[in-house]
Amino acid sequence: MKFKKLLAIVLSISLVAAVLYGCGGNSDNENTTGSGDSGTQSNNADKTISVVAKGESHAFWQSVKRGAEDAGKKYGYKITFRGPTSESSSELPSQKEMVQTALSNNVSGLVIATIGEGFTDMLEQAYDQKIPVVQFDSGIWEADIKTLDDKGKNPIVSSVATSNEKAAAIAAENFFDEIKDDIKESDGVYVIGVIQHDQTVTGIDRAKGFIDRFTELADEDEETSGKYKIEKEIKDGDSNNAYVDALNALVEKKANAIFMSNEGVVKQVSDAIAANAGKYDDIEFCGFDAGTKQIEWIKAENGADLVGSVAQDSYQIGFEAVEQCVFAIEGKTIAQNVPIAGKWYDEDNIDEMIRNNLVYEG
């Protein structure tokens, strides 16, 4: 009897120990796999991707944020989204602090677009910590990337951005369709103006994409070839009505139509038109980007005509950037470059574009 009692006690103790061990094991497994589809993360906190943008409050960045968060939901990752109050160089220290905070928190991945140079030390840290980095929109400045490459410590696995040349080419195609009859019927040389918003790669590529494609189309058409001329004005920054000065310079050059390379240009030109009733009514306009001014202008029934504009697919930029980051974290196939096509919109499809988060107010 004593032996049977002793055996029963031993078995009871073993059973309790097994139950306790099993509970502890289940808890550890939850920390290891986290929530969502991936089982590669070490704990729940690791299933975080930090998105550091060039801004946060503007409608463009809010659309990027929605795309990023939707991708996070799809793949089971928490998304943190931060950006400086403006894209001014004075905000560079603030953005650097955001990146450093993300790295200090040992996030799973980093999605970033910087407003200036000087991120090499932090990006080297990401490389050492095996944190994949996806650059998006205008990405990381070329000087920083060169330094990282020279040191063999470049953590950038993918680049996701609008192809500015291709998007501007779409604008050129649609604008040419609209004004080609005017070029054919013109008594003299028909002047197409281009306002290039700055001398960054973005500004250069947009102007080039528009000019190259427009020239190609106009030269292929026997009725427009030799009957047009393109004039370009380049202005750095959108302060002190620089783009209004560009507009008036093109008016002096007898511009019949004008392509505006970003939302900042459109805003200033729109304000100038509103303040000078009738002065610019004979000019056809074409825009780039989105925003309240472009929506109102396209829908306006009177005054100078904004034929249409090409929008960046900001929602898709955010979604694709996070998706590529997830693929890198989980060891899946990634695309080194993901070009996001622009979308043309005019009075016929603008409401649909708004519903699809491609055109936004702000």
pTM > 0.85: no
Q: What is the DSSP string of 28-61?
A: HHHHHH-SSS----SSGGGSEEEEE-S-SSSHHH
pLDDT(297) > 50 = yes
Helix (H, G, I), strand (E, B) or coil at 111: strand
Residue tagged 């038109």 (tokens): 273
| Residue 43 reports pLDDT greater than 80 | no
Q: How far is CA 237 from CA 17, 139, 195, 203, 268, in A?
A: 70, 19, 12, 11, 12
Averaged confidence pLDDT in the chain: 87
Structure tokens at 224: 């427009």
- For residue 239, name the pLDDT band (cuts at 50, 70, 90): low
The residue-averaged pLDDT of 191-214 equals 95
Looking at residue 335, what DSSP letter applies?
-
Pairwise CA distance, residues 357 & 239, whole Å? 28
Closest by CA position to 345, among listed 335, 331, 355, 332: 355
How many helices (H) and strands (E) in the chain? Answer: 12, 12
Backbone angles phi, psi at 309, to 5 degrees: -155, 165
Strands 255-260 and 190-196: parallel
φ, ψ at 305 (rounded to 5°): -100, 120
Give the H/E segment covering residue 2: helix 2-33
Tens digit of pLDDT for each residue in 56-75?
988 789 889 999 999 999 99
* Residue 41, pLDDT above cutoff 60: no
Long-range Cβ contact pairs of 144-153 (< 8 A, separation 24 or more): 144/114, 144/117, 144/118, 144/119, 144/120, 147/120, 148/120, 148/123, 148/124, 151/120, 151/124, 153/123, 153/124, 153/127, 153/128
Strands (E), 222-283: 228-234, 255-260
- 149, β-bridge pairs: none
Mean pLDDT of 69-95: 95
